Amino acid sequence: MIFAHDIPDGAKLYFGKKAKIKREIEHIASEVFENEEYEEIVSPYFSYHQLEALSEKELIRFTDRENRSVALRGDSSIDIIRIVLKRLKSEAKKWFYIQPVFRAPSTEINQIGAEWLEGNIEDVLNTNINILNRLSKKYPLILSHIQIPKEVCKLTGLDIEDIKKMRIYKFEEPWLKELLKVNSIEDLEDLSKYPQSIAESLKELKKVAKEVNYDIILAPLYVANLRYYTGVFYRFINKNDVIAKGGEYVVEGVKSAGFSIYTDNLLKDLDD
């Protein structure tokens, strides 16, 4: 039986103190974005292109009046870049949003995010850090590169699921076993032990880590769930929760970078 006051599993309800804290988080983030000259955007709840970001099983799908497949927004980045480039045709390069995304079967995920057309991951990451600093929060930061696990699969014949699930009993190459040990900048002093394609990505990872003033953990073999990352990406974590994540990507031929803060996970930590 469904009662009149029931809400679906995964839906969010805010009231009293929690609603106030949520509003304060969003206000602080807005101030940081405005100080760094970001423009605000609120994108449509419905999208035709979500499969470029997420798998079919993650999307809430239906059809429009012409029977074309539509999904509730499951990710904001690609849609925002396309809207800016194709519809707004704005000269502004830096955009931020405060809005939810939705995942099947009925999960609402509130986000604070930013996209920087032609921006670099170091500057985007620093903006993310500035928001967390304003909230007086410091979380472990994990830096990865999506091309590394992809190149490992090409060079070894392993499946991406072998990397994702860390089936290390299949890791036979000496350089791959060395890659398992990498977790800091100091571990990347000697890149000659790795194949050239792996070494190039490790060099990019090292460069970003050196240019960001933060304690960083390197996880070169981590596999991101988002489909559109093309280079370096990162996660801020708190216990089992992802507080924020971001990365490099290419949309419409434009290399950009962006991030999302998971408001509900941050709110849970601030409210504890």
Q: Quick: pLDDT tens for 103-134.
A: 999 999 999 999 999 999 999 999 999 999 99
Tokens of 83: 């809207």
Residue 267's SS3 state is helix
Residue 259's SS3 state is strand
DSSP of 140-163 = -EEEEETHHHHHHHHHH---HHHH
Distances (CA, A) of 210 to 122, 217, 249: 10, 12, 21
- The mean pLDDT value of the chain amounts to 92
Buried b (16+ CB within 10 A) or exposed e, 201-237: bbebbbebbeebebebbbbbbbbbebebbbbbbbbbb
- Residue 55's pLDDT is 87
End-to-end CA distance of the chain: 33
Q: State yes or no: cis peptide before 8, omega within 30 of 0.
A: no
The arithmetic mean of pLDDT across residues 48-69, rounded, is: 87
- Residue 3's pLDDT is 64
| Residue found by looking up tokens 């398992």 in the block | 180
- Residue 48's pLDDT is 87
- Quick: pLDDT tens for 137-157: 999 999 999 999 999 999 999
Confidence of residue 52 (pLDDT cuts 50, 70, 90): confident
Buried b (16+ CB within 10 A) or exposed e, 47-68: beebbbbbeeebbbeeeeeeee
